[in-house]
Amino acid sequence: MLHLLRLLSISSALTLMSGVSTQAETLDEAIAKAVKNHPAIMAVMANETASKEDVNQEKSYYYPTASASASFGRIYADNTTTRGLTVSRGAGYSWFGEGSGSLSQKLYDFNATRYSINAAKARHQSAGANLDAQILSIGLQAAQAYLQLLRAQDLLNIANENKKDIESYYNRIKTAFDNDGADESEVSRAQDFLSLSKNMVLQYQSDLKIAEAGYKEVIGNRPQQKLKQPSIDLSATPKTLDEAISIALTRHPQINSSALEVKATTQDLQREKTSIYPELNAELSYLEKDQKDIIGGESSDGRALIRMNWDYSLGGTETAAKRRAAALQQEAEFNLTALNRVIERDVEIAWHSLNLARKKKNNEADRLDAAKKTLATYKEQYEGSQRSILDLMTVKNSYFTAQQDYLNVTLQEMNAVYTLMNAMGTKFYKSNDIVATKHYSTSGVKVSKPIKE
């Protein structure tokens, strides 16, 4: 309990050091901005919309098809009709007008249309799952950019405080040297500490600019307010690695998207298998033609038919298309298997990174606590003339280093938590209005046997 209280007190001190106001921008707010405005998500959303229209397009083949045509002009004919009706030259000229209309309804195609619709639906659902995955990815990028900027701000504050203290100590030694109370080596050593402190400030000023650029790229704008250090909800993390892997392999939207692509290619293969069968269509048509009698005269033609259409390539087009669809199905299955391995690897890496960060954080907390106590003791001993200013500067530098390392490992732990949740395909932020509400099912997805030659 005492160790936990010490950790909380250190975290509170670092938070206060960053100068966060009550109006600070939170992590959830930053992620919400990123997800609502990031062009990568807009692109995936457009693709999801396009895939929805693919479903509508495939469904349209269940409905009748209407066609109409008209033509008008002047024609010349030389045939048995014209030769029988004219004695001068055996040919005839006439103005010509023709109009026709037809309505065709597909009756039966051995379920080819149904397979096409099922494939389009699966790809639409796959696009929805891919949108979920993109939202998680941008959410993680936003969280990492937020933590990087928060780290740069806090480290710059710590570095400025350290530089201020080191300058004060240096001025004391310089004054003592001017009054023959210190030698030149002490001044040189103090100058070394001061130069290091100045360089750290310069480094973190540069890191802050770089972090702001990264933040702007992901979020869409530079932060308008101070950032608030987020809290970690460790209750959302699984208790075991096996549990984390199981969650990832069943819930991760990338895996769901890939599984739905397998489902789509399976339907594509079924559709190609129907290509060797005929189609039955019902047709209604009417044609009206107007021309001189010498050419053939007026005519009308109305029909109501059941028509069978059958096309088969003697060059093997249908067979090749079926083999291609089978190969694409197997490609999708192998991609799904490979993705399972990648997701499992990412979960394991994130899990071990989180465990390492937790252990290091405990050690760094002890180290920071010890450095803080040592600095306080040295200050007391300095006031009692038991320690020199150089001793005080050395310990102050060690305390500054411990502050840096503890802050770094604290943010590493946060990043590890967010990375693990992302690898599991689980939302780690609280904003409910930025979650893709896509519904998709991977039922019926089966891995087939290898293709035989």
Residue 447 has pLDDT above 50, yes or no: no
Q: Give the list of residues 6+ apart from residue 15 with CB closer than 8 angstroms, or none.
A: 229
Greater pLDDT, 176 or 64:
64
Residue keyed to tokens 């995955």:
133
Residue 13 has pLDDT above 60, yes or no: no
Query: Does residue 208 sit within a domain?
Result: yes
pLDDT (0 to 100) of residue 354:
94
Q: How many helices (H) and strands (E) does the chain have?
A: 10, 4
Q: Give the list of residues 6+ apart from residue 228 with CB closer than 8 angstroms, or none.
A: 20, 24, 25, 26, 27
Query: Does residue 149 sit within a domain?
Result: yes
Q: Which range has the worst mean pLDDT, 93-97, 126-130, 133-137? A: 93-97
Query: Does residue 91 sit within a domain?
Result: no
Alpha-carbon distance of 405 to 409, in angstroms, equals: 6
Query: Does residue 70 sit within a domain?
Result: no
In order, the DSSP letters of 203-238 are HHHHHHHHHHHHHHHHHSS--SSPBPPPPP-GGGS-
Greater pLDDT, 396 or 452:
396
Strand partners, 68: 101
Using pLDDT thresholds of 50, 70 and 90, give the confidence band for residue 18. Answer: very low
- Per-residue pLDDT of 134-176, as tens digits, reads 999 999 999 999 999 999 999 999 999 999 999 999 999 989 8
Asked whether 78 and 86 are in contact (CB, 8 A), the reply is no
Query: Does residue 305 sit within a domain?
Result: no
Nearest in space to 423 (alpha carbons), one of 336, 348, 337: 348
pTM for the full predicted model: 0.81
Q: State whether the Cα torsion 174-178-183-185 is positive or negative.
A: positive
Alpha-carbon distance of 58 to 49, in angstroms, equals: 15
Residue 69 has pLDDT above 70, yes or no: yes
Q: Give the list of residues 6+ apart from residue 268 with CB closer than 8 angstroms, or none.
A: 115, 119, 325, 328, 329
Count, residues in the chain = 453
In order, the DSSP letters of 112-162 are HHHHHHHHHHHHHHHHHHHHHHHHHHHHHHHHHHHHHHHHHHHHHHHHHHH
134 CB-contact burial (10 Å; exposed 0-12 / middle 13-18 / buried 19+): buried
Asked whether 447 and 436 are in contact (CB, 8 A), the reply is no
Helices 317-383 & 253-273, crossing angle to 10 degrees?
180
Query: Does residue 306 sit within a domain?
Result: no
Residue 11 has pLDDT above 50, yes or no: no
pLDDT (0 to 100) of residue 15:
41
Residue 442 has pLDDT above 60, yes or no: no
Nearest in space to 215 (alpha carbons), one of 45, 411, 31: 31
Nearest in space to 328 (alpha carbons), one of 260, 256, 264: 264
**Tokens found for residue 142:** 């936003």
Q: Give the list of residues 6+ apart from residue 107 with CB closer than 8 angstroms, or none.
A: 280, 281, 282, 306
Query: Does residue 398 sit within a domain?
Result: yes
Nearest in space to 321 (alpha carbons), one of 279, 277, 269, 278: 269
Alpha-carbon distance of 3 to 184, in angstroms, equals: 44
Total domains, the chain: 1
Residue 446 has pLDDT above 70, yes or no: no
- Per-residue pLDDT of 248-296, as tens digits, reads 999 999 999 999 999 999 999 999 999 999 999 999 999 999 887 777 7
CATH code of the domain covering residue 19 = 1.20.1600.10
Query: Does residue 127 sit within a domain?
Result: yes
Domain span at 350: 2-63+110-278+314-434
- Per-residue pLDDT of 207-235, as tens digits, reads 999 999 999 999 999 988 888 888 877 77
**Tokens found for residue 108:** 């039966």
Could you tell me what percent of the chain has a pLDDT over 70?
Answer: 87
